[in-house]
Structure 1
Amino acid sequence: MPMNSDLLEILACPKCRGAIAPVVAPERDHEVEGLACAVCGVVYPVREGIPVMLVEEGVPADGWARGVRSVKE
């Protein structure tokens, strides 16, 4: 499910209130799989097109790059 661009404009990082940018999955037709904070570097997952913007669900960018998609993994 595609992410609504209007939604991206109003969302902010729940941890630091920084601007966010989509993280896309090229192997899945550039589907948005996460939202990354430009300030603190935390990535929040997008599940079934819905951003999960909860501090406890955020994953540091280095963990996200290694394939960690949840703090529960």
Structure 2
Amino acid sequence: MDKQLLALLVCPVSHAALHYNKEAQELVCRPSGLAYPVRDGLPVMLESEARQLTTEEKLEKK
């Protein structure tokens, strides 16, 4: 994930910063509790495509 692109992107729900999870290929937003998929190097920033974070993921510190 391009660091410059990541710096510009925010969660469309909470407008909070996103954290890139390279292993899961997701952009994670803990304030909204959503993880947006990254497909073929492109973030899919649609709430309908995001998955809900687990309780453990919400509490995890990065």
Q: What's the TM-score bracket when you normalise by the shorter of the two chains?
A: 0.7 to 0.9
The amino acid that maps onto 1:61 is L
For this pair of structures, how many residues does the alignment match? Answer: 55
- Could you list the per-position Cα deviations for residues 16-67 of structure 1 after superposition, in whole angstroms to 9, with x for gaps in the alignment? 1111000121xxxxxx6000013112000000100000111111112xx7xx
TM-score (norm 2): 0.79
The equivalences for 1:12-51 within 5 A come to 12-25=10-23, 33-51=25-43
TM-score (norm 1): 0.68
Q: Which runs of 5+ in 2 are unaligned?
A: 58-62
Bigger radius of gyration: 1
Computed over aligned residues only, the root mean square deviation of the Cα atoms, in angstroms, reads: 1.5
Runs (4+) of structure 1 exceeding 6 A deviation are: none
% same residue:
36
Q: Which runs of 5+ in 1 are unaligned?
A: 26-31, 66-73
Greater strand fraction, Structure 1 or Structure 2 = 1
Q: 1:58 aligns with which of 50, 54, 61?
A: 50
